[in-house]
Structure 1
Amino acid sequence: MSKHFLTHGHGRALSRHHKIAAAGVAALGAAAIGLSAVPSSASTTATTSETALPAAKVAYSTEPIKNVRADITDPTAGAGLKIEKIEARFEAKREAAARAAAERKAAAAAAERKAEEARRAEEAASRAAERARLKAEARKAVPKAYSDTLDGWIRESLAIMRKHGIPGSYEGIRRNIMRESSGNPKAINLWDINARNGIPSKGLLQVIPPTFEAYHVPGTSKNIYDPVANIVAACNYAADKYGTMDNVDSAY
């Protein structure tokens, strides 16, 4: 075994070179410690300046927080205003629609009234035109002789009625004559209420004197027993009260 190695429990012997190296390392370490212990002038100045500066106070402010809150609140307020404007526009449109509907309804009612008035005026004009036509035809008609019979009396009466625009038909007149007087132009009722009142019904169509006078047609006899005068006056009365003698089916 080499002499440089020791037995168990002893350290290894250092060579001369090892000892010199260890001493150099120790010297370098001591120098480094010395340099770090002595501060340089620049470091001292910097440290002194930093030490001389007073500690700056930290100021706290709520302004940024307020601004943030405003930024959050303002959009919400703007949205609320927009909703109110939209609702106002919808309400205005609804009211405008209601007004328009009411105006349309009023216009329709007015148009309906106007149409009804026009219809009535047209009907009145038509009736007037028909009466005028009948009168014109009567004036143009060639006078003809009528037999002195019930048939002749009715036909002559119809010619006069057409001339004066009085409605009635041959059948309607004859039917009422047969019921009222059986065709007797001198018939008189002495038993009904008119007779008891002193104004008995007379003639073919049993007309009372006041009615005959009120509805007498010019150009006919003023004798209530005259067949033609009696028929024409009675038909004139029936036209005023019932529309036409054709509508009369009982005592009138």
Structure 2
Amino acid sequence: MKLIENSPLDENSRVKYVRHKDKKRFLELSEHIVPNISELEDYQSEQRKDVFKNLDYIISFIGFEGRKSLFWGVFKVHSGRYNLEKDQYEYDLEEMPQFNALKFRLVIDWGDAERSWHQHYHNADKKVIELYSDQPMEKFPGYEHIHLSWNQLKYVIDKESWKIALQNQKAVYLITDISNGKMYVGSAYGENMLLNRWQNYIKSGHGGNIQLEKLSREYIENNFKFSILDIFKSTTDDQVILNRESWWKNTLLTRTFGYNAN
């Protein structure tokens, strides 16, 4: 409470703590991977019950690893309305910029009542566990932890720690279309290796792949997830990479049911 009091919250403010943890929609959430913010904003502003009724502010967190919760921000509740067609309440929320210095850096213990995802602010304080030195995505999390949306990849691709990690490794990678489950297996072994390959996706959207060129850039940006299947040293023979790429295509059946044309 001391970290956020009087700016603009005070003892008269009507406030709730809110903790988002949706296993179906935000599987990739962790202290390392910042979510697709626009998707999370939509998710927060649409509720089945009138949980933000008569509130001035909500203090939002992202849940991960049991009770751990990563601070997202403080939002002013301007108004709320019931959408009869969608059978949901919709809120106009404004993020308060005063707390940007703590955004995706502050980790708290949510407490024992994990299922109680919205709680009144003045009833109990929250214990601070950690304050990261920088935003989590600035630091490369390790190849095995990469599961990035297109927007996340665009954000990290020019960060120094990511560039160093990606440009020195050959790899077999996976692109997953979350709208239909189709997958694409690709490989990176040329100049600047994985960095160069993924930079091409950010630049063109499709990376020069025949099947992906048929999709609109907007569709790709909204539905594609990037991850790594195999990672190799820069000295590994290129044929080893190609053999593993082919093995993954056969295993995941991406030529038959996915986006691989060959």
For normalisation by structure 1, the TM-score amounts to: 0.18
Choose between structure 1 and 2 for higher RCO, CA contacts under 8 A separated by at least 6 residues: 2
Query: Which structure dedicates a bigger proportion of its chain to strand?
Result: 2
- Length-normalised TM-score, structure 2: 0.18
Find the structure with the greater CA-based Rg. Answer: 1
